[in-house]
């Protein structure tokens, strides 16, 4: 891939474009998320020569997406609400369960939106974007210890706000 194999790079793009788009949206790119992802993919391709052999591609790409999103925000001076609903799973089809799931989803989105930015970002990366701890640290540019402590504090706040409905268990392999 580092040698510029366009086919191998295209496979990586197909595999990671969806999560790259979700990261851009969650970090505030909004309707410009597609442009941010395209620019990030071009920058990543151009920077392949500096990509460390054996390093995971996804966190590296998502870090570029995060940086591009910040660049967009700086250049346009826009700060908007995080569009969390776009990355949450759709409610189930059973009408009764669906109504309950929609209400829980709305409660969760509202609770996450009012978290301080650092807490909101770490919860979004870990649970809504399904990034592992290392990937979250890379995307946010934080040490892993910061990811752990902020996630712990954020989950504590969510439990206080939502009650027993917030689980601190994770299926991620850290």
Q: Are the C-beta atoms of 144 and 134 separated by less than 8 Å?
A: yes
The domain ranges of the chain are 6-76, 84-165
Query: In this structure, which CATH number among 3.30.430.20, 1.10.10.60, 1.10.1740.10, 1.10.10.10 belongs to the domain 6-76?
Result: 1.10.1740.10
Q: Which long-range contacts (CB under 8 A, 24 or more apart) does 121-125 make?
A: 121/26, 121/27, 122/147, 122/150, 122/151, 122/154, 123/151, 123/154, 123/155, 123/158, 124/26, 124/82, 124/84, 124/87, 125/23, 125/26
Q: What pLDDT does residue 152 have?
A: 95
Q: What pLDDT does residue 172 have?
A: 44
Q: What is the pTM of this model?
A: 0.60
The SS3 call for residue 137 is: helix
Half-sphere exposure of 26 (CA within 13 A, CB side): 34
Which residue positions in the chain have pLDDT lower than 70? 1-5, 76-94, 97, 164-174
Estimate the share of the chain in helix, then strand, then coil, as percent rounded to the nearest 5. Answer: 75, 0, 25
Domain 84-165 carries which CATH code?
1.10.10.10
Q: What pLDDT does residue 171 have?
A: 40
Q: What pLDDT does residue 88 have?
A: 57
Distance CA 78, CA 154 (A): 25
Closest CA to 156 of 147, 167, 143, 145: 167
């Amino acid at each position: 891939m580092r040698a510029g194999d366009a086919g191998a790079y295209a496979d990586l793009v197909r595999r990671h474009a969806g999560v790259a788009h979700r990261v851009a949206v969650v970090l505030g790119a909004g309707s410009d998320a597609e442009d941010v992802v395209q620019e990030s993919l071009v920058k990543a391709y151009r920077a392949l020569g500096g990509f460390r052999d054996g390093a995971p591609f996804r966190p590296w790409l998502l870090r570029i997406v995060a940086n591009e999103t910040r660049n967009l925000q700086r250049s346009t001076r826009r700060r908007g609400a995080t569009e969390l609903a776009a990355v949450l799973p759709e409610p189930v089809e059973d009408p009764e369960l669906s109504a309950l799931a929609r209400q829980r989803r709305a409660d969760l989105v509202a609770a996450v939106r009012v978290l301080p930015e650092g807490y909101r970002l770490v919860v979004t990366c870990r649970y809504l974007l399904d990034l592992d701890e290392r990937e979250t640290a890379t995307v946010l540019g934080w040490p892993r210890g910061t990811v752990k402590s902020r996630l712990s504090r954020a989950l504590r706040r969510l439990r206080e706000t939502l009650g027993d409905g917030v689980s601190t268990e994770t299926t991620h392999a850290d």
